[in-house]
Amino acid sequence: MGVKATETRRSSGLSSSDWNIAYQLTLTQMKLKDQSSFFGFLWSFLHPLLLLALLYVFFSARFSDQIEHYVIYLMFGLVLYTHFSNCTSMGMRALRSTRELTTDAVFPKELLVFSTLIANSLELFLSIAICIAIALATDISITPAIFWLPIVIFAELLLVTWVSLLLATIFPFAWDIDHIYNVFLRVLFFITPIFYNISFIGDGLARRIAELNPLSWVVTTMRNLVIDGQGPAIGELTAFLLINAGLVYITLIIFRHFESRFAEMM
């Protein structure tokens, strides 16, 4: 019966009750993240701030002469990496962390993943606003290129959405992927130009890997907008959006295909 109900919803799209469920799930996820209080929300910024301080102490002497406004450079890299890491990790576990809803309630289960992404992305918007405010305070001139910022943020959201949906689909069938993905995130930190300039790694294999990393493109493009006042190449931006939007569509189809089996695997 649950499967039939789900299929009916699929044919008619999301209903008003589904949107209400999504809203309530987002509020729940925010409370789970301790964002319902000011100090709980402030605590979520402590880890990236400590990491920022650590990276600056150890690498500023090496890179600050090569990279202008190195603190702001670091901040944007850490903000976008932290958002990607938190969103995809929590999105992957969304079905398990709310297993009662996964197994007993009848509604589109992708809403569990989406609500997690929305709750985590609120931090992203505030963090970027803080980065821009600090940039202005350090005499960085904001140019009209900043108007591209919402589109670049949207590109980041598309990226975390399809990765989260894919991981959430795999997780119920292979819980060990949690450990594997944690290792991957550590590797991702070093193959994304967070504390170094991509030219630092030369022209070999390491650079090719970094350039193929989609998170590198988002980080570099956002830095160019704010620090250098340069808008994105239209062709690259269009290709990135189309590819990642297509991947969102494909992973959503895959997620819905396996949705009927999630309850028995929980």
pLDDT digits (tens, 9 = 90+) for 69-81: 999 999 999 999 9
pLDDT value of residue 37: 52
- Please report which confidence band the pLDDT of residue 4 belongs to, taking 50, 70 and 90 as the band edges: very low
Q: Give the mean pLDDT of 66-94.
A: 93
Per-residue pLDDT at 7 exceeds 60: no
Find, among 48, 246, 227, the residue nearest to 149 by Cα. Answer: 227
Per-residue pLDDT at 2 exceeds 80: no
On average, the pLDDT of the chain sits at: 85
- Please report which confidence band the pLDDT of residue 40 belongs to, taking 50, 70 and 90 as the band edges: low
Domain boundaries, the chain: 2-265
Per-residue pLDDT at 12 exceeds 50: no
Per-residue pLDDT at 181 exceeds 50: yes
- CA 218 from chain centre, in angstroms, equals 11
pLDDT value of residue 14: 62
| Dist. CA 32–CA 112, nearest whole Å | 13
Query: Tokens for 125?
Result: 């918007």
DSSP state of 140: P
pLDDT value of residue 266: 63
Q: Give the mean pLDDT of 245-256.
A: 96
pLDDT value of residue 96: 84
Per-residue pLDDT at 177 exceeds 70: yes
Find, among 157, 170, 175, 174, the residue nearest to 255 by Cα. Answer: 170
Q: What does each C-alpha distance from 222 to 19, 160, 162, 167, 215 come to in angstroms?
A: 31, 16, 20, 26, 11
- Please report which confidence band the pLDDT of residue 238 belongs to, taking 50, 70 and 90 as the band edges: very high
Per-residue pLDDT at 36 exceeds 50: no
pLDDT in tens, 132-156: 999 999 889 889 999 999 999 999 9
- pTM of this prediction? 0.86
